[in-house]
Amino acid sequence: MNWPAPVPKPPRRVKERPKGLKPRNEVRAAKRYEENYGPKADWVRSLACVVSGSGGSKSDPIVAAHVLGRGAGGDSRDLVPMLASLHDSLHQMGQDTFAVAHNCDLEGAADIIELRWRQFVKDSE
């Protein structure tokens, strides 16, 4: 009995290496930085901490903390001045636990700071 010749296997495909990250869009990066930080963040860092009232120090400076994370849609309207150590605690504890532990309303503080910022900009013109 004659059996048909076996069908040869196709050659193995060699996977191409990923091409890596796309080049950074500098215009978009600048726009995002402006939306998320910008001059308002510099102004916020000049204020006292909304939790402790401290002005900060070289070892524990004031940072512009986002009350609503940027990944959750937060932008410069959500910035509050906070000591770097308290900002770290905020991330470790979570916002709700932090607010209860420190008896503070970060969303309310962000709203007040946004109003003060708008007044500051208006007065600067």
What is the total residue count of the chain?
125
pLDDT the model gives residue 74: 67
CA dist 4 and 1 (Å) reads 10
Handedness of CA 61, 89, 41, 31 (dihedral sign): positive
Q: Is residue 79 part of a domain?
A: yes
Enclosing H/E stretch for 114: helix 106-124
Helices and strands (DSSP H and E) totals, the chain = 5, 2
Asked if residue 57 belongs to a domain, the reply is yes
Q: Give the Cα separation of 86 and 48 in Å (integer).
A: 13
Q: Count of domains in the chain?
A: 1
Domain for residue 10, yes or no? no
Write out the residue range of the structural domain in which residue 78 sits.
Answer: 26-124
42-51 tens-digit pLDDT: 889 899 999 9
| Residue among 112, 65, 72, 73 at smallest CA distance from 91 | 65
Does residue 20 belong to any structural domain of this protein? no
Residue 83: strand, helix, or coil:
strand
User: Please, are residues 123 and 117 in contact by the beta-carbon 8 Å criterion?
Assistant: no
Residue 60 placed within a domain: yes
Query: What's the pLDDT tens digit per position in 59-106?
Result: 889 988 888 766 666 667 888 999 999 999 988 988 889 899 999 999
